Amino acid sequence: MRIEDQAAHVLHARPWRETSLLVEVLTRDHGRLGLVARGVQGPKRHVLRAALQPLQLVRLSVVLRGELAQLRGAEALDAAPRLSGDAMLAGFYVCELVLRLAPRQDPAPELFDAYSRVRERLRIPTGLAWTLRRFERDLLDALGVGFALDHDGDGEPIDPAARYRLDPEHGPRRLRQDSGAGERNAAATGQGLLALAAGDTPPDSADLAGLRRALRTVLAHHLGPRGLKSWELASDLAGR
């Protein structure tokens, strides 16, 4: 099957053989695609090679046969975000999440739109934690494994003053008063959940930290036993 002039976000690219690249992209109509880009490592192909870098939005044409598509042409549609420091790590994290969780060759219009939004938000150097929490929420929803954040798993409204663990299968579960310290540390506040459900105004830093820990539990469940390299890198940097 030939796919012509398809907008795609580049998620990852790595060298293959002497002059080629293996590239992963996210498209609206065909979901995540793996591509073989042949002969792009030569000195005369730098424009094409630059268009195939992570976070770049491109228009591409491919021939899809089996697991990997053959790239026939690609051009950049805009300038990719120029990220550094924490923002660069955040961009790596976003791409890695999509690579690990999005199935190949499955239409993904909602995920494509969510990725487009977070890509633009990453251009702004402030508010990275809030940007990532909203993307995690949108990613889970787009993959069909999200849940309501303004009601708990039993349908009761979220209490802003309570704490909740996020059950990957059932959504928010209110903690009992006698819950241990470890369970409470891994929980989100009701205020944080309501802020994320609304999605407009970020909660305070403590509530944001609780959302990060609670959502990581959900993401780890869907990722399986192998975690993310970006999580390891973030831990290493924090330990310096």
The pLDDT assigned to 182 comes to 63
Phi, psi angles (nearest 5°) of residue 26: -115, 120
The pLDDT assigned to 177 comes to 74
The pLDDT assigned to 184 comes to 74
pLDDT score of 159 more than 90: yes
Q: Check: CB of residue 147 under 8 Å from CB of residue 222.
A: no
The mean pLDDT of the chain is: 91
Q: Which residues of 159-191 are buried (b: 16+ CB within 10 A; e: fewer)?
A: eeebbbbbeeeebbebbeeeeeeeeeebbbbbb
User: Which CATH code is given to the segment(s) 2-76?
Assistant: 2.40.50.140
Residue-wise pLDDT tens digits, 48-65 = 878 899 999 999 999 988
For CATH 1.20.1440.120, the residue range(s) in the chain are: 85-238
CATH superfamily of the 85-238 domain: Recombination protein O, C-terminal domain (1.20.1440.120)
Residue-wise pLDDT tens digits, 84-119 = 999 999 999 999 999 999 999 999 999 999 999 999
3-state secondary structure (DSSP) of residue 215: helix
- Dmax over Cα atoms in the chain, in whole Å? 66
For CATH 2.40.50.140, the residue range(s) in the chain are: 2-76
Q: What is the mean pLDDT of residues 70-80?
A: 92
The pLDDT assigned to 97 comes to 97
Q: What is the mean pLDDT of residues 129-134?
A: 97
Q: How far apart are CA 156 and CA 153, in angstroms?
A: 7
- Helical H segments across 143-239, by residue range: 181-185, 190-198, 205-223, 229-238
